[in-house]
Structure 1
Amino acid sequence: MKKLGLLLSFLFCTVAFAQNSEAKKVGPPEGMAMVGESYGAGVSANSEKSAISVKKLDQILKKSAKVENVAIKGKVVKVCDKKGCWLTVETANKEKFFVKMKDYAFFVPTALEGKTVILEGNAETKVTSVDEQKHYAEDAKKSQAEIDAITKPQQETRFMASGIKVID
């Protein structure tokens, strides 16, 4: 009986140590973000063909505060250095918008920066608080002066991605 108790104690400690080690992993996932790779739920072939511009998205958002199941094409200009949990995308007309991952369910590697992607998900116009803007500025490793310069809420287009695919 003592051997069984000792064995169970050993197994419990081993599992607890493994879980603790896993929880301490910090940073975005590894990866090269090669053409064809997908993140999250992926992107349908139809979305690749029907991706719209941010200009078109803005026109749609003027009529409706939220657009669901839309696809947008753009170039990733910044990925969260801490976890890969958000990114900034620039479109062909040089407009930028902020992207978060749906349900915080997936992250992307920093190697995604500079790649052209198709995003599939939902978009909305949102007012972002000063605190939230400062949080993202800290994640982006902006200078303290840049963070301190954030003093007003900002209205912006936000995209909640369910899937991302590298196309170039």
Structure 2
Amino acid sequence: MGPPEGNALVGDTYGAVVTTPESKAISVEKLSKKLKKDNKKVENVAITGKVTDVCDKKGCWLTIETEDQSKFFVKMKDYGFFVPTALKGKNVVLEGTAERKVISVDEQKHYAEDAKKSAQEIAAITKPQEEIRFFADGIKVVK
């Protein structure tokens, strides 16, 4: 079964209802600084950004654009909901929990396969990588 159907129109919500207006949501960069400064986990936070990729298999993860081109990875909390691939390129507000995490080589390769990366790109994954993981309770399309 693939990702849900849908055009990801402005106002569409996936998962829990998102109550934070876009003007009150923080950028990925601000969240990253907050995680570095405060701790390894920030709960009940709202971020905003542009979706750069969506899982083609189920719509169970997505990535958000960052200023430094690093990957900002979003999973749906407890696999509670999925998003359509039409979300790619849209601006969204996400509510949920963020944490810094070390991603194993095996897990990185699994996601690279999901994203249909080439065998060369997958083979180039040779060491664990630290990244921010965001577990979304809800996602709302804002533009």
Q: TM-score, normalised by structure 2?
A: 0.94
Give the match's secondary structure for 1:138: helix
Among 99, 108, 117, the alignment partner of 1:133 is 108
Percent identical residues: 70
Question: 1:81-112 CA deviation, whole Å, 9 max, x = no partner?
Answer: 00000001114665530000001010000000
Picking from 41, 52, 58, the partner of 2:32 is: 58
Which of 74, 83, 94 is residue 49 of structure 2 equivalent to?
74
**Alignment correspondent of 2:23:** 49
Runs of 5+ unmatched residues, structure 2: none
Structure-2 separation of matches of 1:121 and 1:49: 17
Secondary structure class of the residue paired with 1:157? strand
Task: Give CA deviations for 1:105-128 in whole Å, capped at 9, x if unaligned.
Answer: 100000000000001100010000
Offset at residue 60 of structure 1 (A):
1.1
AA aligned to 1:59 is K
Conserved? CA contact 2:51–2:65, under 8 Å: yes
- Whether 1:34 and 2:4 are equivalent positions in the alignment is no
Report 1 or 2 for greater relative contact order, CA contacts < 8 Å, sequence distance ≥ 6. Answer: 2
Number of residues of Structure 1 aligned to a counterpart in Structure 2: 142
Higher strand proportion? 2
Match of 2:58 in 1: 83
Rg: which structure is higher? Answer: 1
Query: Within 2, Cα distance between the matches of 1:121 and 1:93?
Result: 22
Alignment match of 1:147 (pick from 111, 119, 122)? 122
Give the match's secondary structure for 1:78: strand
Across the aligned residues of Structure 1 and Structure 2, the Cα RMSD in angstroms comes to 1.3
User: Is this contact kept in 2: 1:54–1:95, CA < 8 A?
Assistant: no
Bigger share in helix: 1
CA distance in structure 1 between the aligned counterparts of 2:67 and 2:137, rounded to whole angstroms: 22
